[in-house]
Amino acid sequence: MTLSPEFSMRPFLSACFALSAALAVAACQSGEDRTAPAADPGSGAQTIAETAPGPASSDQPDTGAERGLAAQTACRADIGEAAAARLVERCIKVSPATHPPCHADNPCALIRGEIDRSCKLWDKDPPAECRS
């Protein structure tokens, strides 16, 4: 079979490439406009923000989770700037973690927990900070 001189693969390949590029771009776009039609403001349809639960009311049982998070104040606020700085320095010296929670903005219990955890990792000769 002989192809006529007018036939060339170049336009065909160019069209395939263009179609592939268009499909790739379409696949990468967010699906916001494809998921659901926008609600008409006068239709009475509720948005997600309107249906999301708000803060717990006083008639709901207290699970303690909210209190626990609110009670975790910065270590420097609990024990003072100087004592918190000493605790943070001790934590940094013993912790093998790449990003330890040794920061005065964290609760003191978290910093002390990191010190305890880190000191348990030492087999024979723990640093002096583990003995104090």
Q: Label each residue of the chain as H, E or C.
A: CCCCCCCCHHHHHHHHHHHHHHHHHHHHCCCHHHHCCCCCCCCCCCCHHHHCCCCCCCCCCCCCHHHHHHHCCCHHHHHCHHHHHHHHHHHHHHCCCCCCCCCCCCCHHHHHHHHHHHHHHCCCCCCHHHHC
Please check whether residue 32 lies inside any domain of the structure: no
Question: Range of 81's domain?
Answer: 73-131
Amino acid sitting at position 117: R
Specify if 94 maps to a domain: yes
Mean pLDDT in residue range 101-122: 94
Residue 74's pLDDT is 94
Residue 123 lies in a domain: yes
More confident residue, 61 or 112: 112
Number of structural domains in the chain? 1
Question: How many CB atoms are closer than 10 A to CB 110?
Answer: 16
- Note whether residue 112 is domain-resident: yes
Higher pLDDT among residues 21 and 79, named by residue:
79
Q: Does residue 38 sit within a domain? A: no
Q: Does residue 78 fall inside a structural domain?
A: yes
Q: Name the residue with higher pLDDT: 47 or 99.
A: 99
List, for residues 2-29, the tens digit of each pLDDT value.
655 555 556 655 555 565 555 555 555 5
Stronger pLDDT, 130 or 41, i.e. the higher one: 130
Please report which confidence band the pLDDT of residue 100 belongs to, taking 50, 70 and 90 as the band edges. Answer: confident
User: What's residue 51's pLDDT?
Assistant: 45
In which band, very low, low, confident or very high, does the pLDDT at 127 lie, cut at 50, 70 and 90? confident
92 domain-assigned: yes
Over residues 65-72, the mean pLDDT reads 54
Q: What is the CA radius of gyration of the chain?
A: 31
Higher per-residue pLDDT: 44 or 78: 78
Domain contains 84:
yes
